[in-house]
Amino acid sequence: MMKLRKYQQQAIDAVYDYLRNNDGNPCIVLPTAAGKSHVLAQICADAVTLWNGRVLVLTHVKELIEQNAEKISYYLDNKLTGIYSAGLNSRDTDKPVIVAGIQSVYKRACELGHFELIIIDESHLLNPDSETMYQQFLTDMKAVNPDVRVIGLTATPFRLKGGMICSEENILNEVCFEIGVKELISQGYLCPLKSKAGKRKADTSGLHIRGGEFIASEVEQLMDDNMLVDSACREIIEQTIDRNSVLIFAASVKHATHIQKTLKNKTGLDIGLVTGETSAIDRAEILARFKGESIQKDFFSEPEGPLKYLVNVNVLTTGFDAPNIDCVVLLRPTNSPGLYVQMLGRGFRLHESKDDCLILDFGGNIIRHGPVDALQIKNRSSGSGSAPAKECPDCQALIHAGYSKCPECDYEFPASQKNSHDSSAASAGVLSGQYEDTQYDVKDIAYHFHMKRNATADTKPTMRVQYQIGWKHWQSEWICFEHSGYARTKAENWWKARSDMPVPDTINEAIDLANAGVLAPTSQITIRTTAGDKYDKIVDCVLGDKHEVIENCQERETDMMSEYNWPEDGIPF
């Protein structure tokens, strides 16, 4: 029997505590690659050996059925474990533990008999609709045993199409244990993720939502653009020179085929492709090659070596275990936080060949959903709508679309304003706290008096400094000369770094002096984008010499004397 990790045992203890003290059905949330199958297997072993009970493990994918049955055999005699799955040609019904596919058993509750526990793996696939296979099966199973309890296991406690899976009226009622991605990375149990920026942008603001997800036909039309595919493939090749196993998520079969062809033309390599139309035999061979094996189909053919690139369409999100994946490419947008996490989860597993996993996001997903370890999930309606991220037109902060007022500058968005977001390979951190610093040349600087909207009588104004770093691209910072404490000290330091003149006491005085040219010129700024933060920050700058300010002021003084025709002694009276 394998020794459980501390958090795995804590998850099991939390389940037992919940079952003893509550009437509902609990859910365990463990990130992908955190070892949910070990937790599941230990619960099965305890139920059989300690309490002489029976357990039914339900899932939806053939690979998961096999994986779970194999893992349970490590903890329990394999003679006590059976499989009920049409796809695996097995219909065991009398074992203490049965691992089954929901598609095979949802009409056969009475045939399977009495169970004390039902464990639903990948329970984010549960649907609240009373007509689903899970709902129908559980209704029938309660007729066999009214006291049967259900346990859910998932990496994402929200459904793929939005909404939390646990609630009072759902099959699962409460999360009893959860541990985060970043915590397991810091403990050395998961592989660190990092993300890099892309070069070409695709505007996904026009996509509409149906059933919680972007409409597939619109996504395909947007992402299957020749120039976008060509640019993205070039970037994928550039960014993965030192990567070994690159998993690419495409928007559709047509899009995936386009990507496969383009990558093959540019690299000369054999590019793997798996879709829902791929046969079971071909799929097994492709996945084996992607995991580093060489395949020889028959005696006369040449061996086919490992695959570096594998393109897929919605088939390698759950039940696919390839620890060697060191790059995940999201070449598609998704409005589903569950799918977003599932796709990223393919890179979490540890492997001797990698130190981290690179995420290339061409669908604006990191910006849309936030860091994978700090998602803000809300129940979502099934109606149409635009993708939930937008840019403040006043201060250029990139914020979540749920805000009616910009948290940076208090700009109030019109109710009808459409959202827009970046669908290039995003530079936003995929883990909260990760940051990326980018240097920009400053083309122009503007100084403005700024007062927060709906300010009270005691609210102090600030000087907003705007740096132009691109076409219609400005980055702002706020200098608080009229504040006290730390804010004033920070303003004083800002001013002293740029001028030898006394620090102004008011915003109007600061703006007048700045416009008069008393501040050293700023040629470059460094902007930090931190995952989980609502806006970017200026963290460094390159300033000119202060003597340039003195020369500028002397020239300005000479011009003023000439303009007003003052006497030679310089005294205008």
Over the stretch 343-370, which tens digit does the pLDDT of each residue have?
998 999 999 999 999 999 998 888 888 7
Q: What is the rounded average pLDDT of the residues 52-75?
A: 90
Q: What is the rounded average pLDDT of the residues 435-462?
A: 86
The contacts of residue 447 (CB under 8 Å, 6+ apart) are: 463, 464, 465, 466, 510, 511, 514, 515
CATH for 193-400, options being 3.90.230.10, 3.40.1260.10, 3.40.50.1860, 3.40.50.300:
3.40.50.300
Q: What is the rounded average pLDDT of the residues 219-230?
A: 94
Closest Cα to residue 438, out of 368, 536, 366?
536
CB 14 within 8 A of CB 46: no
* Predicted local confidence at residue 409, as pLDDT: 54
Over the stretch 491-517, which tens digit does the pLDDT of each residue have?
999 999 999 999 999 999 999 999 988
The fold of the 6-179 domain, in CATH, is: Rossmann fold (3.40.50)
Over the stretch 149-201, which tens digit does the pLDDT of each residue have?
999 999 887 776 667 788 888 889 999 999 988 889 889 999 988 887 566 76
CA distance 292 to 553: 68
Range list for CATH 3.40.50.300 in the chain: 6-179, 193-400
* Predicted local confidence at residue 24, as pLDDT: 92
Reply yes or no on whether the pLDDT at 562 is more than 60. no
- Chain centroid to CA 16: how far? 31
What is the pLDDT of the chain when averaged over all its residues? 82
Q: Which tokens hold the place of 146?
A: 């009214």
Looking at 76-194, list the stretches that DSSP marks H as alpha helix, in order from N- to C-terminal side: 102-105, 109-112, 133-144, 181-186
Over the stretch 134-144, which tens digit does the pLDDT of each residue have?
888 899 999 99
